A and B are shown apart, each in its own frame.
Chain A
């Protein structure tokens, strides 16, 4: 497969996942903001921004404006509309490599979110938009799984999706746990809802929302799709599949980084993590993901010509 094609599929998928994540976080919080809380509206919006990895603005956040900015402002690079547009742009570069159903689905969603710009008048409009994005996201994932060959291209799509998830979940967790002392029950519900985790969590730990249990669930649960461990496992599976189909012999660096990351999630009990400091642990997960991204990039996409000729 051409490196450029692999790169476009990877980023199509990463941006798509980013849009989906943003929609889920906004939907969860928009609902909860309707309840009174110890935290001011501004503090809560700062946490939403932080949980999406967006640097906090100086002060004075207007909730309605913030919502519109994060959904449909094309100048805000983390907004849903920007991420969908980036995803579509990448898909357009490799249109003949993806199924026509995938393109149609993504294209439809793009038009839906771009047309919403400037028309989010009533209170409930942004909420409808994020709901539509989540629906569209499920549809796109289903169409992708159902219509595309599960070959190398598919594995790059999986890699992009779970890489994004592995990077964004720690950011979200950090935003909540760094201010854990001030958080009340509803704040924790918001964290779980941001990962579509409320029901799944309750099945394992009952509705007793304990910070340590939530951290354990969202970090280390091997079965829940929005846990860091699950995302990393899927990411490593995609990497293994890619190295198998592409016959690359120089993938040791990737395997080393991936293996260490997996081990740190699979074999470390949550008590040890909390003792060593959750923030530090989350930072190291993100750092390792970035290393992995760089390693994949240099092995498959943008390798130095000289090394490729010697290999």
Chain B
């Protein structure tokens, strides 16, 4: 007979926690003893005292609020792309102020070092000459843009917006799983989720002292403005258009910042200056917050088949007449193979040890590491270096013999394209599932802004693997989100 794996030294948990299993993963709410952690006590008490139907009602209210506000994402693969509500979990994920302080320092350090790295790679290449990173790994990176060599960007800021994925290991440490340095998305869910939670749990907010995040749009706007040339500051948001899965977010942010939401066809380049077509004539544009990938921004400089971009944009950029945020070519710093060098990058440029660690990563270009991993594929997660969204991945412990052999062939055929990491036991947080509170695996994506200074609003997008036992949190693969509360003290 198999029973829930509960340690024998404490009494069964009370409703609505009766099915709550505390397993090997770090649990955000409970200690191994089954007692709630101090910063979760207010939520714990509230949940114990709420009648079950009240939780259901709150859940319905929250779903309805998301629906009414049109908070949706697009699911591809049908004849007509369909919009779905982004699944949202009712219970907040709570982070203490001191945990947050470490994250904040760690991410500030990381984005600073990565910016110095990009400036170096696209100019002198000192880090390569000094042999800290092999040049080959840079030049073989799919997202390396040789056109960016020698191009000066304002304030030397390449990455203005990053969305760094953190996970918490069983020992309670946060580590960086991925740096998303190209066009990270999801921040609109963070902001709308907070708005909905305030409608549903006002009393809990008052009791807990949750640090605000509503200033994000303003901070993003200031960041973009800090990159604009003196006295000229027409900022626009460039979207691929209504069929993009993040279009909701693009429209949302443009509205929040009070800037125009433009598509490539709205912009024209003349004499290396960028203009948008308005009913009042052409209006000069100074900064573009672009949510279009490098490859597509300019058909003359990059992919010629792109209809999302603006012909001539890159020349205007090189001439210093337009600011792009993020800069082009930042993808070289979030390549999953180059990721493994980030601790070295931090030491090289800042002379400091990393405050937030990396996940141990095996490079398949290294013969010894490759042989070790290929012999033990069932223990590892294998990822393609340039992919995101949970695509192109092998999760060893959940894989079949055929899948492993297929990946082994792929690795051997193109070692530069793959890395391996040990299977991580992500931490769990309480989620409201079918009338009960149950643990589900979560990660955390804070949003880092870098202009005049580094700004990280206290919070982020906590993504949840809503299927029981699943470790995949991507929205395209059954993931949802929950509000993230950073406490005042």
Interface string of B244-267 (1 = CB under 8 A from A): 000000010011000011110110
Q: Does B261 contact A3, Cβ atoms closer than 8 Å?
A: no
In the complex, what distance in Å separates the CA atom of A4 from the CA atom of B281?
Answer: 12
| A2-B266, A305-B270, A309-B270 known; A96-B279 Cβ under 8 A | no
B75 in the interface, Cβ–Cβ < 8 Å?
Answer: no
B105 in the interface, Cβ–Cβ < 8 Å?
Answer: no
| A95-B251, A100-B70 known; A311-B281 Cβ under 8 A | yes
10 cross-chain pairs, A with B, having the tightest CB-CB distances, nearest first = A96-B251, A3-B277, A246-B280, A300-B279, A308-B282, A246-B279, A308-B281, A1-B279, A6-B279, A4-B266
Q: Which of A4, A95, A242 contacts B277 (CB 8 A)?
A: A4
- What is the chain A residue whose CB lies nearest that of B269? A305
A138 in the interface, Cβ–Cβ < 8 Å?
Answer: no
Q: Which interface residue of B70, B260, B276, B279 has the most chain A CB atoms within 10 A?
A: B279
Give the size range of B's interface with the partner.
Answer: 20 to 34
- Please give the distance in Å from A286's CB to the nearest CB on chain B: 25
A225 in the interface, Cβ–Cβ < 8 Å?
Answer: no
- Contacting residues, chain A, for B49 (C-beta < 8 A): none
In the complex, what distance in Å separates the CA atom of A96 from the CA atom of B70?
Answer: 11
- What is the chain B residue whose CB lies nearest that of A302? B277
- Contacting residues, chain A, for B276 (C-beta < 8 A): 2
- Contacting residues, chain B, for A100 (C-beta < 8 A): 70
A216 in the interface, Cβ–Cβ < 8 Å?
Answer: no
In the complex, what distance in Å separates the CA atom of A170 from the CA atom of B22?
Answer: 77
B268 in the interface, Cβ–Cβ < 8 Å?
Answer: yes
A248 in the interface, Cβ–Cβ < 8 Å?
Answer: yes
Q: Does A1 contact B281, Cβ atoms closer than 8 Å?
A: no
In the complex, what distance in Å separates the CA atom of A242 from the CA atom of B261?
Answer: 21
B278 in the interface, Cβ–Cβ < 8 Å?
Answer: yes
Q: Does A248 contact B265, Cβ atoms closer than 8 Å?
A: no
> Can you name 17 A-B pairs with beta carbons within 8 Å?
A2-B262, A2-B276, A2-B278, A3-B266, A6-B279, A92-B242, A95-B242, A95-B251, A96-B255, A242-B279, A246-B278, A246-B279, A248-B279, A305-B268, A305-B270, A305-B275, A305-B282
- Contacting residues, chain B, for A93 (C-beta < 8 A): 242
Within 8 A of A (CB), among B120-148: none
- Contacting residues, chain A, for B277 (C-beta < 8 A): 2-4, 301, 303
Q: Which of A6, A96, A301, A303 contacts B261 (CB 8 A)?
A: A96
Within 8 A of A (CB), among B211-250: 242
Interface residues of A (CB under 8 A from B): 1-4, 6, 92-93, 95-96, 100, 152, 242, 246-248, 300-301, 303, 305, 308-309, 311
- Contacting residues, chain A, for B265 (C-beta < 8 A): 4
- Contacting residues, chain A, for B266 (C-beta < 8 A): 2-4
- Contacting residues, chain A, for B270 (C-beta < 8 A): 305, 309
Beyond A96-B261, A100-B70, A308-B281, 4 additional contacts (C-beta under 8 Å) are A1-B278, A3-B277, A248-B280, A301-B279
In the complex, what distance in Å separates the CA atom of A200 from the CA atom of B69?
Answer: 43
- Please give the distance in Å from A10's CB to the nearest CB on chain B: 11
- Please give the distance in Å from B272's CB to the nearest CB on chain A: 13
Q: Which interface residue of A93, A100, A308, A311 has the most chain B CB atoms within 10 A?
A: A308
- Please give the distance in Å from B209's CB to the nearest CB on chain A: 34
In the complex, what distance in Å separates the CA atom of A303 from the CA atom of B275?
Answer: 13
- Please give the distance in Å from B61's CB to the nearest CB on chain A: 19
- Contacting residues, chain A, for B275 (C-beta < 8 A): 305
- Contacting residues, chain B, for A1 (C-beta < 8 A): 278-280
- Please give the distance in Å from B70's CB to the nearest CB on chain A: 7
- Contacting residues, chain B, for A4 (C-beta < 8 A): 263, 265-266, 277
Q: Does B281 contact A248, Cβ atoms closer than 8 Å?
A: yes
Interface string of B262-306 (1 = CB under 8 A from A): 110110101000011111111000000000000000000000000
In the complex, what distance in Å separates the CA atom of A6 from the CA atom of B281?
Answer: 12
- Contacting residues, chain B, for A301 (C-beta < 8 A): 277, 279
Q: Which interface residue of B263, B275, B281, B282 has the most chain A CB atoms within 10 A?
A: B281
Within 8 A of A (CB), among B63-91: 70
In the complex, what distance in Å separates the CA atom of A305 from the CA atom of B281?
Answer: 9
In the complex, what distance in Å separates the CA atom of A1 from the CA atom of B261?
Answer: 10
In the complex, what distance in Å separates the CA atom of A100 from the CA atom of B279?
Answer: 24
Q: Does B280 contact A247, Cβ atoms closer than 8 Å?
A: yes
Q: Does A303 contact B281, Cβ atoms closer than 8 Å?
A: yes
In the complex, what distance in Å separates the CA atom of A61 from the CA atom of B336?
Answer: 66
- Contacting residues, chain A, for B282 (C-beta < 8 A): 305, 308-309
Interface string of B356-380 (1 = CB under 8 A from A): 0000000000000000000000000
- Contacting residues, chain B, for A92 (C-beta < 8 A): 242
In the complex, what distance in Å separates the CA atom of A311 from the CA atom of B270?
Answer: 15
- What is the chain A residue whose CB lies nearest that of B68? A100
In the complex, what distance in Å separates the CA atom of A152 from the CA atom of B279?
Answer: 9
- Please give the distance in Å from B273's CB to the nearest CB on chain A: 10
- Contacting residues, chain B, for A3 (C-beta < 8 A): 266, 277-279
In the complex, what distance in Å separates the CA atom of A192 from the CA atom of B52?
Answer: 63
In the complex, what distance in Å separates the CA atom of A305 from the CA atom of B284?
Answer: 12
In the complex, what distance in Å separates the CA atom of A8 from the CA atom of B143?
Answer: 36
- Please give the distance in Å from B275's CB to the nearest CB on chain A: 8
In the complex, what distance in Å separates the CA atom of A45 from the CA atom of B32?
Answer: 81
- Please give the distance in Å from A310's CB to the nearest CB on chain B: 10
- Contacting residues, chain A, for B255 (C-beta < 8 A): 96
- Please give the distance in Å from A302's CB to the nearest CB on chain B: 8
In the complex, what distance in Å separates the CA atom of A303 from the CA atom of B280?
Answer: 11
- Contacting residues, chain B, for A303 (C-beta < 8 A): 277, 281
Q: Does A2 contact B260, Cβ atoms closer than 8 Å?
A: yes
In the complex, what distance in Å separates the CA atom of A308 from the CA atom of B268?
Answer: 12
